[in-house]
């Protein structure tokens, strides 16, 4: 924006941090598309400008919200406060391998 013989630049766009002196850079936890990921997730590039958040190993959820996953079964150990099915807690039935046998608690 031109103002009184000099330029005045606006703030960085959503998902970016910095200023016009150092430039705007993607903020921590943001995908280039602007999606904000959980601090325990990474941004996955599916190509053609499509991005999604995915919880890292040891964490489970929808990528925007991740909870601990100590048994590495891809289900959070606690129920997360979101409506996505990946946010629900799954409990094992006895000592069975829960790849097929589990109770889903939405």
Instruction: Please report where in the chains the tokens 């325990």 appear, as a residue.
Output: 40
Q: Tell me what the pLDDT averaged over the chain comes to.
A: 77
Q: Is the pLDDT of residue 12 over 80?
A: no
Tell me the pLDDT tens digit for each residue of 52-93.
999 999 999 999 999 999 999 899 999 999 888 888 876 555
Tell whether domain 31-105 is in CATH 2.10.25.10: yes
Give dist(CA 18, CA 38) in Å, integer: 21
CA 10 to chain centre: 27
Residues of the chain with pLDDT > 70, as a percent, come to 72
Enumerate the domain spans of the chain: 1-28, 31-105
Q: What three-state secondary structure class fits 45?
A: strand
More confident residue, 73 or 27: 73
Instruction: Please report where in the chains the tokens 């601990």 appear, as a residue.
Output: 68
Q: What is the pTM of this model?
A: 0.63
Which pair of tokens denotes residue 3? 């103002």
Query: Which residue spans within the chain are E strands per DSSP?
Result: 2-3, 6-7, 16-19, 23-26, 41-47, 50-55, 59-61, 66-68, 89-92, 102-105
């Amino acid at each position: 924006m031109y103002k009184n013989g000099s330029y005045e630049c606006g703030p960085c766009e959503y998902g970016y941090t910095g200023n016009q002196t150092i430039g705007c850079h993607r903020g921590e936890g943001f995908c280039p598309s602007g999606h904000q990921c959980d601090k325990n997730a990474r941004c996955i590039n599916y190509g053609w400008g499509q991005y999604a958040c995915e919880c890292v190993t040891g964490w489970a959820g929808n990528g925007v919200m991740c909870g601990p996953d100590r048994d590495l079964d891809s289900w959070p150990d606690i129920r997360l406060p979101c409506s996505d099915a990946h946010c629900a807690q799954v409990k094992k039935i006895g000592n069975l391998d829960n790849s097929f046998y589990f109770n889903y608690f939405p």
